[in-house]
Amino acid sequence: MNVERKWKDQLYQEFARIGKCLSSPKRLELMDLLAQGPKSVDQLAKNTGMSVANVSQHLQTLYDSRLVRFTKKGNYVIYELAELSIADFMVSLHRLSEKQLVEIQRLKTEILQHHERMEPIELEKLVERMEKGEVLLLDVRPREEYEMAHIPGAISIPVEELEKHLASLPTNKEIVAYCRGPYCLMSAQAVEIMRTKGIKASRLEEGVHEWHHYVEDSRRSNEGGFIL
């Protein structure tokens, strides 16, 4: 075997480490959750319905592939993504999968049928209406995720606290709720809560990372660059 062939074989073997690591549905879900901010093993177990032992095992696999890192705070082990670019990769993975796999679109449509009249507002339209002061953007994720990063102009009311704060919401604007992105239903739950109280509300499908991609794509477009 020549040197170049051996080098290429070793190179693609290393690339395959990431592919093998991400072949687990549960590890992909953990990555999506960590894209929202650092979380303890206990939090991740609660969010995914897995046992702490199973979560720890999956996290170890992700750690071995250098996709996550951890710190210790007292008795807690806190995990986070190793690089911000990994969150960007997850957004790209979602986009590619939804484009190539019709089953994903079917599953999205199926689950949203359980939430009456839940057509999402388009991101571009949201930007226009926010600039005109016509809508209030509501981040319904846990507060620590909002504090880590949020869409500019959004206010934080976690979905589990929403009913207590309905009276404080403006009545002269439409409320647009968002959460962790296209495959998170906290925003749909929030919209249903508000609509049952007569509040005009809509759902934004995108989350923080999709927002950043939108801003970056718009910047490139305005500069005449290529958008891949």
Domains of the chain by residue range: 3-82, 110-216
pTM of the model: 0.84
- Label residue 226 by pLDDT band (50, 70, 90): very low
CA gap 171, 198 in Å, rounded: 9
Q: Tell me whether the CATH fold assigned to 3-82 matches the one assigned to 110-216.
A: no
- Label residue 228 by pLDDT band (50, 70, 90): very low
Domain spanning 110-216, CATH architecture? 3-Layer(aba) Sandwich (3.40)
Domain spanning 3-82, CATH architecture? Orthogonal Bundle (1.10)
Q: Output the pLDDT for position 186.
A: 94
- Identify any residues that bridge with 180 across adjacent strands, giving them in sequence order: none
Average the pLDDT over 199-226 and give the result: 80
In Å, the largest CA–CA distance within the chain is 73
Average the pLDDT over 89-114 and give the result: 88
Q: Which of 130, 179, 194, 201 is catalytic?
A: 179
Residues 98, 105: contact at Cβ < 8 Å? Answer: yes
Average the pLDDT over 77-99 and give the result: 94
Q: What is the DSSP string of 3-65?
A: HHHHHHHHHHHHHHHHHHHTT-HHHHHHHHHHTT--EEHHHHHHHHT--HHHHHHHHHHHHHT
Q: What is the pLDDT of residues 104-130, one digit of tens each?
A: 989 888 877 766 566 788 888 998 998
184 is catalytic: no
